[in-house]
Amino acid sequence: MPGQIVLEDFQIESLLNNNNYAAAADYLFNSQMKSWELLKKNYDALRNVQTESFWFNGVKLKVQFNPERFKSTSAEVDEDSVKNRECFLCVENLPDEQKGIKIRDDFIMLCNPYPIFPQHFTISSLNHKPQSISESFSEFLVMSRQLSPQYTLVYNGPACGASAPDHLHFQAGTKNFMPIENDIQQLKNDFGKIIQEDEIITTSFINDGFRRLILIESTEHKMIVKTFTRIYKAYEKLFQDDVEPMMNILCTYNSVFGWSVIIFLRSKHRPEYFYKNDPDRILISPAAIDLGGLVITPREEDFIRIDKELLQQIFREVSLDEKNFSLLAEKVKA
Ligand SMILES: [Zn+2]
Protein backbone atom coordinates (compact mmCIF):
# COMPACT_ATOMS: atom_id res chain seq x y z
CA MET A 1 0.00 0.00 0.00
CA PRO A 2 1.39 3.43 -0.86
CA GLY A 3 2.49 4.76 2.54
CA GLN A 4 1.21 8.28 2.04
CA ILE A 5 -2.45 7.21 2.03
CA VAL A 6 -2.52 6.34 5.72
CA LEU A 7 -2.97 9.40 7.88
CA GLU A 8 0.07 9.38 10.10
CA ASP A 9 -0.93 10.99 13.29
CA PHE A 10 -0.05 10.20 16.87
CA GLN A 11 -3.62 10.70 18.08
CA ILE A 12 -5.16 8.36 15.50
CA GLU A 13 -2.60 5.71 16.31
CA SER A 14 -3.39 5.89 19.98
CA LEU A 15 -7.16 5.76 19.33
CA LEU A 16 -6.72 2.71 17.08
CA ASN A 17 -4.46 1.04 19.61
CA ASN A 18 -7.30 1.39 22.11
CA ASN A 19 -9.77 -0.04 19.55
CA ASN A 20 -11.58 3.27 19.49
CA TYR A 21 -12.41 3.14 15.80
CA ALA A 22 -15.35 5.52 15.89
CA ALA A 23 -13.29 8.28 17.52
CA ALA A 24 -10.47 7.64 15.03
CA ALA A 25 -12.93 7.98 12.13
CA ASP A 26 -14.29 11.20 13.58
CA TYR A 27 -10.73 12.50 13.94
CA LEU A 28 -9.95 11.55 10.34
CA PHE A 29 -13.08 13.38 9.19
CA ASN A 30 -12.16 16.58 11.01
CA SER A 31 -8.61 16.42 9.77
CA GLN A 32 -9.73 15.95 6.14
CA MET A 33 -12.21 18.84 6.47
CA LYS A 34 -9.23 21.07 7.20
CA SER A 35 -6.95 19.81 4.45
CA TRP A 36 -9.24 18.88 1.54
CA GLU A 37 -11.08 21.75 -0.10
CA LEU A 38 -13.53 19.73 -2.21
CA LEU A 39 -14.52 17.68 0.82
CA LYS A 40 -15.21 20.76 2.91
CA LYS A 41 -17.18 22.39 0.09
CA ASN A 42 -19.40 19.33 -0.35
CA TYR A 43 -20.06 18.78 3.37
CA ASP A 44 -20.83 22.45 3.81
CA ALA A 45 -23.29 22.24 0.90
CA LEU A 46 -24.91 19.15 2.44
CA ARG A 47 -25.96 21.16 5.47
CA ASN A 48 -28.28 23.22 3.28
CA VAL A 49 -29.76 20.51 1.07
CA GLN A 50 -33.51 20.35 0.73
CA THR A 51 -35.34 17.36 2.13
CA GLU A 52 -38.94 16.32 2.17
CA SER A 53 -40.58 13.67 4.35
CA PHE A 54 -43.37 11.26 3.51
CA TRP A 55 -45.18 9.02 5.97
CA PHE A 56 -46.42 5.51 5.31
CA ASN A 57 -48.39 3.82 8.10
CA GLY A 58 -46.36 5.67 10.69
CA VAL A 59 -42.95 5.02 9.13
CA LYS A 60 -40.98 7.67 7.35
CA LEU A 61 -39.25 8.10 4.00
CA LYS A 62 -37.11 11.17 3.61
CA VAL A 63 -36.14 12.46 0.17
CA GLN A 64 -32.88 14.37 -0.13
CA PHE A 65 -32.16 16.61 -3.15
CA ASN A 66 -28.43 16.07 -3.54
CA PRO A 67 -26.93 17.27 -6.86
CA GLU A 68 -23.43 16.04 -5.96
CA ARG A 69 -24.72 12.47 -6.14
CA PHE A 70 -25.51 12.70 -9.87
CA LYS A 71 -22.42 10.78 -10.93
CA SER A 72 -22.87 7.88 -8.55
CA THR A 73 -26.64 7.63 -9.06
CA SER A 74 -26.28 7.47 -12.84
CA ALA A 75 -23.05 5.44 -12.93
CA GLU A 76 -22.73 2.72 -15.55
CA VAL A 77 -21.93 -0.45 -13.69
CA ASP A 78 -22.22 -3.03 -16.46
CA GLU A 79 -19.27 -5.33 -16.99
CA ASP A 80 -17.80 -3.45 -19.97
CA SER A 81 -18.04 0.00 -18.41
CA VAL A 82 -16.40 -1.29 -15.25
CA LYS A 83 -13.64 -3.03 -17.19
CA ASN A 84 -12.87 0.10 -19.17
CA ARG A 85 -12.51 2.50 -16.30
CA GLU A 86 -9.77 2.97 -13.79
CA CYS A 87 -10.88 1.61 -10.40
CA PHE A 88 -11.56 4.60 -8.16
CA LEU A 89 -11.21 2.55 -4.98
CA CYS A 90 -7.73 1.19 -5.61
CA VAL A 91 -5.44 3.25 -3.38
CA GLU A 92 -3.12 4.25 -6.21
CA ASN A 93 -6.04 6.03 -7.91
CA LEU A 94 -7.28 8.02 -4.92
CA PRO A 95 -7.06 11.83 -5.00
CA ASP A 96 -3.83 13.34 -3.64
CA GLU A 97 -5.66 14.99 -0.74
CA GLN A 98 -7.24 11.76 0.44
CA LYS A 99 -6.02 10.11 3.62
CA GLY A 100 -7.40 7.11 5.45
CA ILE A 101 -7.13 4.94 8.51
CA LYS A 102 -6.50 1.22 8.45
CA ILE A 103 -9.39 -0.84 9.74
CA ARG A 104 -8.67 -4.45 10.58
CA ASP A 105 -5.89 -5.94 8.48
CA ASP A 106 -6.97 -5.27 4.98
CA PHE A 107 -9.42 -2.38 4.87
CA ILE A 108 -8.97 1.36 4.70
CA MET A 109 -11.54 3.87 5.87
CA LEU A 110 -11.84 6.98 3.71
CA CYS A 111 -14.02 10.08 3.80
CA ASN A 112 -16.59 10.05 1.02
CA PRO A 113 -16.27 13.41 -0.76
CA TYR A 114 -19.83 13.12 -2.17
CA PRO A 115 -21.74 12.69 1.08
CA ILE A 116 -25.31 11.74 1.95
CA PHE A 117 -24.69 11.57 5.75
CA PRO A 118 -23.26 14.38 7.91
CA GLN A 119 -20.24 12.06 8.13
CA HIS A 120 -19.95 9.53 5.32
CA PHE A 121 -17.14 7.05 4.80
CA THR A 122 -16.13 4.38 2.34
CA ILE A 123 -14.41 1.36 3.86
CA SER A 124 -12.64 -0.38 1.04
CA SER A 125 -10.51 -3.46 0.77
CA LEU A 126 -6.81 -2.81 0.24
CA ASN A 127 -6.96 -5.45 -2.48
CA HIS A 128 -8.81 -5.13 -5.74
CA LYS A 129 -11.27 -8.01 -5.46
CA PRO A 130 -14.97 -8.36 -6.28
CA GLN A 131 -17.76 -7.03 -4.10
CA SER A 132 -19.03 -10.09 -2.24
CA ILE A 133 -20.90 -10.35 1.04
CA SER A 134 -20.48 -14.10 1.45
CA GLU A 135 -16.73 -13.51 1.63
CA SER A 136 -16.90 -10.53 3.95
CA PHE A 137 -20.00 -10.75 6.14
CA SER A 138 -18.14 -11.74 9.30
CA GLU A 139 -15.78 -8.76 8.93
CA PHE A 140 -18.74 -6.52 8.19
CA LEU A 141 -20.29 -7.45 11.56
CA VAL A 142 -17.09 -6.88 13.48
CA MET A 143 -16.58 -3.49 11.86
CA SER A 144 -20.13 -2.45 12.58
CA ARG A 145 -19.54 -3.18 16.27
CA GLN A 146 -16.27 -1.26 16.25
CA LEU A 147 -17.84 1.79 14.64
CA SER A 148 -21.21 1.51 16.40
CA PRO A 149 -20.89 4.38 18.88
CA GLN A 150 -21.24 6.81 15.97
CA TYR A 151 -21.89 5.03 12.69
CA THR A 152 -24.10 2.55 10.85
CA LEU A 153 -22.61 0.17 8.31
CA VAL A 154 -23.89 -0.20 4.75
CA TYR A 155 -23.37 -2.87 2.09
CA ASN A 156 -24.61 -2.74 -1.49
CA GLY A 157 -24.51 -5.88 -3.62
CA PRO A 158 -22.54 -5.93 -6.89
CA ALA A 159 -25.72 -6.14 -8.98
CA CYS A 160 -27.91 -3.75 -6.99
CA GLY A 161 -26.22 -0.52 -6.07
CA ALA A 162 -22.49 -0.95 -5.52
CA SER A 163 -20.78 1.78 -7.52
CA ALA A 164 -17.64 -0.41 -7.75
CA PRO A 165 -18.85 -4.01 -8.18
CA ASP A 166 -15.26 -5.02 -8.88
CA HIS A 167 -13.78 -3.70 -5.63
CA LEU A 168 -14.95 -4.90 -2.19
CA HIS A 169 -16.22 -2.01 -0.08
CA PHE A 170 -18.70 -0.96 2.60
CA GLN A 171 -19.92 2.44 3.68
CA ALA A 172 -20.34 3.93 7.11
CA GLY A 173 -22.64 6.85 7.86
CA THR A 174 -23.79 8.91 10.83
CA LYS A 175 -25.89 6.73 13.12
CA ASN A 176 -29.69 7.17 13.16
CA PHE A 177 -29.71 9.36 10.06
CA MET A 178 -31.71 6.84 8.02
CA PRO A 179 -35.36 6.71 9.16
CA ILE A 180 -35.44 2.90 9.27
CA GLU A 181 -33.00 2.88 12.18
CA ASN A 182 -35.74 4.43 14.31
CA ASP A 183 -38.62 2.63 12.61
CA ILE A 184 -37.35 -0.93 12.50
CA GLN A 185 -39.02 -2.20 15.68
CA GLN A 186 -42.30 -0.70 14.59
CA LEU A 187 -41.93 -2.30 11.15
CA LYS A 188 -41.22 -5.61 12.83
CA ASN A 189 -44.27 -5.33 15.09
CA ASP A 190 -46.66 -4.15 12.41
CA PHE A 191 -45.49 -6.07 9.33
CA GLY A 192 -43.07 -8.72 10.54
CA LYS A 193 -43.29 -12.47 10.74
CA ILE A 194 -40.88 -14.11 13.15
CA ILE A 195 -39.23 -17.06 11.44
CA GLN A 196 -36.75 -18.04 14.10
CA GLU A 197 -36.67 -17.07 17.75
CA ASP A 198 -34.84 -18.33 20.79
CA GLU A 199 -32.88 -16.76 23.62
CA ILE A 200 -29.93 -16.07 21.31
CA ILE A 201 -31.34 -14.91 17.99
CA THR A 202 -34.48 -13.55 16.34
CA THR A 203 -35.02 -13.55 12.59
CA SER A 204 -38.01 -11.69 11.16
CA PHE A 205 -39.31 -11.38 7.60
CA ILE A 206 -40.90 -7.97 7.06
CA ASN A 207 -43.13 -6.91 4.18
CA ASP A 208 -44.42 -3.37 4.62
CA GLY A 209 -46.18 -3.35 1.28
CA PHE A 210 -43.38 -1.81 -0.73
CA ARG A 211 -40.14 -3.25 0.76
CA ARG A 212 -39.21 -6.84 1.63
CA LEU A 213 -36.60 -7.14 4.30
CA ILE A 214 -35.16 -9.54 6.81
CA LEU A 215 -34.13 -8.46 10.30
CA ILE A 216 -31.63 -10.52 12.26
CA GLU A 217 -31.11 -9.55 15.91
CA SER A 218 -28.59 -11.15 18.22
CA THR A 219 -25.67 -10.52 20.52
CA GLU A 220 -23.85 -13.58 19.15
CA HIS A 221 -21.60 -12.97 16.17
CA LYS A 222 -21.32 -16.67 15.33
CA MET A 223 -25.08 -17.21 15.34
CA ILE A 224 -25.69 -14.27 13.02
CA VAL A 225 -23.09 -15.54 10.57
CA LYS A 226 -24.70 -18.98 10.67
CA THR A 227 -28.20 -17.60 10.09
CA PHE A 228 -27.04 -15.23 7.38
CA THR A 229 -25.27 -18.06 5.58
CA ARG A 230 -28.44 -20.13 5.66
CA ILE A 231 -30.51 -17.24 4.28
CA TYR A 232 -27.89 -16.48 1.65
CA LYS A 233 -27.81 -20.06 0.39
CA ALA A 234 -31.58 -20.34 0.20
CA TYR A 235 -31.82 -16.96 -1.55
CA GLU A 236 -29.08 -17.90 -3.99
CA LYS A 237 -30.96 -21.09 -4.88
CA LEU A 238 -34.08 -19.13 -5.79
CA PHE A 239 -32.25 -17.50 -8.68
CA GLN A 240 -29.51 -19.94 -9.69
CA ASP A 241 -27.50 -17.14 -11.20
CA ASP A 242 -23.75 -16.78 -11.24
CA VAL A 243 -23.84 -13.33 -9.63
CA GLU A 244 -24.54 -12.63 -5.98
CA PRO A 245 -28.31 -12.64 -5.31
CA MET A 246 -29.43 -9.03 -5.03
CA MET A 247 -29.34 -7.61 -1.52
CA ASN A 248 -28.53 -4.41 0.34
CA ILE A 249 -27.62 -4.51 4.00
CA LEU A 250 -27.60 -2.10 6.94
CA CYS A 251 -26.06 -3.02 10.25
CA THR A 252 -26.05 -1.40 13.66
CA TYR A 253 -24.78 -2.59 17.01
CA ASN A 254 -25.74 -1.71 20.54
CA SER A 255 -24.01 -3.01 23.66
CA VAL A 256 -27.27 -4.22 25.24
CA PHE A 257 -29.17 -5.70 22.30
CA GLY A 258 -26.26 -6.58 20.06
CA TRP A 259 -26.50 -6.45 16.30
CA SER A 260 -29.44 -5.51 14.11
CA VAL A 261 -28.85 -6.63 10.56
CA ILE A 262 -31.38 -5.39 8.00
CA ILE A 263 -31.27 -7.17 4.65
CA PHE A 264 -33.28 -5.73 1.77
CA LEU A 265 -34.08 -8.30 -0.90
CA ARG A 266 -34.26 -7.17 -4.49
CA SER A 267 -35.70 -8.19 -7.83
CA LYS A 268 -33.96 -5.58 -9.93
CA HIS A 269 -31.28 -2.94 -9.82
CA ARG A 270 -33.10 0.08 -11.21
CA PRO A 271 -36.77 0.92 -11.84
CA GLU A 272 -38.32 1.50 -15.29
CA TYR A 273 -38.43 5.22 -14.59
CA PHE A 274 -34.64 5.34 -14.51
CA TYR A 275 -34.40 4.30 -18.18
CA LYS A 276 -37.15 6.52 -19.58
CA ASN A 277 -36.37 9.62 -21.63
CA ASP A 278 -36.97 13.04 -20.19
CA PRO A 279 -39.40 14.41 -19.18
CA ASP A 280 -40.64 10.98 -17.98
CA ARG A 281 -37.35 9.91 -16.49
CA ILE A 282 -36.89 9.82 -12.70
CA LEU A 283 -33.27 9.52 -11.66
CA ILE A 284 -33.53 7.36 -8.57
CA SER A 285 -31.30 4.31 -8.29
CA PRO A 286 -32.34 2.62 -5.04
CA ALA A 287 -29.70 1.00 -2.85
CA ALA A 288 -29.30 0.37 0.88
CA ILE A 289 -29.53 4.00 2.02
CA ASP A 290 -32.61 4.75 -0.12
CA LEU A 291 -34.36 1.59 1.05
CA GLY A 292 -33.37 2.59 4.59
CA GLY A 293 -35.70 5.54 4.08
CA LEU A 294 -33.28 8.19 2.86
CA VAL A 295 -34.00 8.51 -0.86
CA ILE A 296 -31.53 10.46 -2.98
CA THR A 297 -32.62 12.55 -5.97
CA PRO A 298 -29.67 14.29 -7.66
CA ARG A 299 -31.92 16.32 -10.02
CA GLU A 300 -34.25 19.05 -8.88
CA GLU A 301 -37.00 18.10 -11.33
CA ASP A 302 -37.19 14.65 -9.74
CA PHE A 303 -37.15 16.06 -6.22
CA ILE A 304 -40.11 18.27 -7.13
CA ARG A 305 -41.99 15.52 -8.91
CA ILE A 306 -41.53 12.68 -6.44
CA ASP A 307 -44.51 11.85 -4.28
CA LYS A 308 -45.77 9.07 -2.06
CA GLU A 309 -47.25 7.02 -4.89
CA LEU A 310 -44.12 7.20 -7.06
CA LEU A 311 -41.90 6.25 -4.14
CA GLN A 312 -44.02 3.22 -3.33
CA GLN A 313 -44.19 2.20 -6.97
CA ILE A 314 -40.40 2.43 -7.39
CA PHE A 315 -39.64 0.54 -4.18
CA ARG A 316 -42.18 -2.15 -4.96
CA GLU A 317 -40.70 -2.61 -8.42
CA VAL A 318 -37.10 -3.11 -7.26
CA SER A 319 -37.94 -5.22 -4.20
CA LEU A 320 -38.24 -9.00 -4.25
CA ASP A 321 -41.77 -10.04 -5.24
CA GLU A 322 -44.11 -11.34 -2.55
CA LYS A 323 -44.23 -14.88 -3.91
CA ASN A 324 -40.48 -15.40 -3.77
CA PHE A 325 -40.30 -13.61 -0.43
CA SER A 326 -42.78 -16.09 1.11
CA LEU A 327 -41.00 -18.98 -0.54
CA LEU A 328 -37.72 -17.85 0.96
CA ALA A 329 -39.30 -17.51 4.40
CA GLU A 330 -40.53 -21.10 4.15
CA LYS A 331 -37.09 -22.35 3.13
CA VAL A 332 -35.29 -20.48 5.91
CA LYS A 333 -37.80 -21.73 8.47
CA ALA A 334 -37.42 -25.35 7.39
ZN1 LIG B 1 -9.86 -1.45 -7.25
Three-state DSSP string of 177-220: CCHHHHHHHHHHHHHEEEEEECCCEEEEEEECCCCEEEEEEECC
Q: How far is the C-alpha of 247 from the C-alpha of 135, rounded, in Å? A: 14
Cα of 127 vs centre of ligand 1, distance in Å, is 7
Closest CA to 169 of 114, 239, 87, 226: 87
The stretches in the chain having pLDDT less than 70 are 1-3
Q: How far does residue 130's CA lie from ligand 1's centre (Å)?
A: 9
User: Residues 215, 224: contact at Cβ < 8 Å?
Assistant: no
- What is the whole-number distance in angstroms between the Cα of residue 278 and the centre of ligand 1? 33
Q: How far is the CA of 158 from the centre of ligand 1 (A)?
A: 13
Q: Give distance in angstroms: CA of 21 to centre of ligand 1.
A: 24
Q: How far is the CA of 102 from the centre of ligand 1 (A)?
A: 16
Provide the whole-model pTM.
Answer: 0.96
User: What's 245's DSSP letter?
Assistant: P
Distance CA 32, CA 21 (A): 16
Measured in Å, residue 166 CA sits from the centre of ligand 1 at 7
Cα(163) to ligand 1 centroid in Å equals 11
Return the DSSP state at 91: G
CA of 125 to the centre of ligand 1 (A): 8
pLDDT of res. 78: 85
Q: How far is the CA of 190 from the centre of ligand 1 (A)?
A: 42
Which value, in Å, is the radius of gyration of the alpha carbons in the chain? 19
Q: What stretch of H or E contains 13?
A: helix 10-17
Centroid of ligand 1 to alpha carbon of 128 (angstroms): 4
Distance 253 CA to ligand 1 centre (A): 28
85: CA distance to ligand 1 center in Å? 10
Q: What are the backbone dihedrals phi and psi of residue 302, each rounded to the nearest 5 degrees, phi first?
A: -75, -40
